[in-house]
Amino acid sequence: MSDQPATRTVILDEIEAESERLASLAVEEGLAMRLMGGLAIRLRSESVRKPPYARNYADMDFAISSRSRTAARAFLERQGYVPEKLFNAIHGAQRLNYAEPNGRWTMDILIDELSMSHRLDLRDRLAGPGLTIPLADLVLTKLQIWEINRKDLGDVLCLLADHPLGADGAETIGLDRIGAVLGSDWGFCHTVERNLDRVAEQWAAEPVADVRFDVAAQVAELRAAIQRAPKSLAWRTRARLGERVRWYETPEEVRH
């Protein structure tokens, strides 16, 4: 038996610091596991930490590769998190749920893709030194929401206020990535364009002071890039039907 004392994992008191701790450890251990959701946006955006969009967080969201599922589960249990066994047994091919042992917050883990109002494939977006999924994907995870609310609009608005648009990069919102995703899926594209109008309206109603970029100009540039992006045959075929056929799913349908 080793004389070394057992290492005790200390879960931090604040969910914001704890999510960063876990994300950093996952990168250090080479796991294809990256922070997403509101806490990821808070980590990447200073504007979302101040009025009018600062808020409290009740849960964490991560994305993992299916190839890393076993390693990710072992990692989280080493960190003291408790699996929701029934949920994980039923839904474990697509999602996992964990809880902080004292019930202070929960953790939702998506496997390979986000599937809500629309589907966003994340399998090739979970590597590299960044603690979160890339900025373009953070934007898309929010703009894909059909029934988008002020919180999600604020998250997108703050990302656009703090980061340049350009080629996909560590600190750049990748227009090439967004164009490629939306150019293959008319429904996803239509929802995003609709929600960009709402982002511009939200910016006009509740702007953030002292930011790097004017969000109205960023929205206009992003819309132009989406319109310029090459469109697949499937996109063009679906566009002919337009809104005569529903183009999004609801959370209830995704859960079932």
Q: What is the pLDDT of residues 119-148, one digit of tens each?
A: 999 999 999 999 999 999 999 999 999 999
> 4 falls in which pLDDT band (50, 70, 90)?
very low
Q: How many domains, the chain?
A: 1
Q: Give domain status of residue 93, yes or no.
A: yes
2 domain residue, yes or no: no
Taking the C-alpha atoms of residue 127 and residue 164, their distance in angstroms, rounded to an integer, is 22
Assess if residue 6 is contained within a domain. Answer: no
pLDDT for 19 equals 98
pLDDT given at position 8: 54
In whole angstroms, give the CA distance from residue 12 to residue 20: 10
| Residue 250 confidence (pLDDT) above 90 | no
pTM value > 0.85: yes
**pLDDT tier at 252, thresholds 50, 70, 90:** low
Omega cis (within 30) before 101:
no
Question: Which one-letter amino acid corresponds to residue 187?
Answer: G
Amino acid identity of residue 236, one-letter, is R
In a domain, 72, yes or no: yes
Asked if pLDDT for residue 241 goes beyond 60, the answer is yes
Q: What is the pLDDT of residues 152-196, one digit of tens each?
A: 999 999 999 999 999 999 999 999 999 999 999 999 999 999 999
* Domain hosting residue 40, numbered range: 15-255
- Does 9 map to a domain? no
Share of the chain above pLDDT 70, in %: 95
> Is residue 7, in this structure, part of any structural domain at all?
no
Residue 5 lies in a domain: no
**Cα radius of gyration (the chain):** 19
Question: Has residue 174 been placed in a domain?
Answer: yes
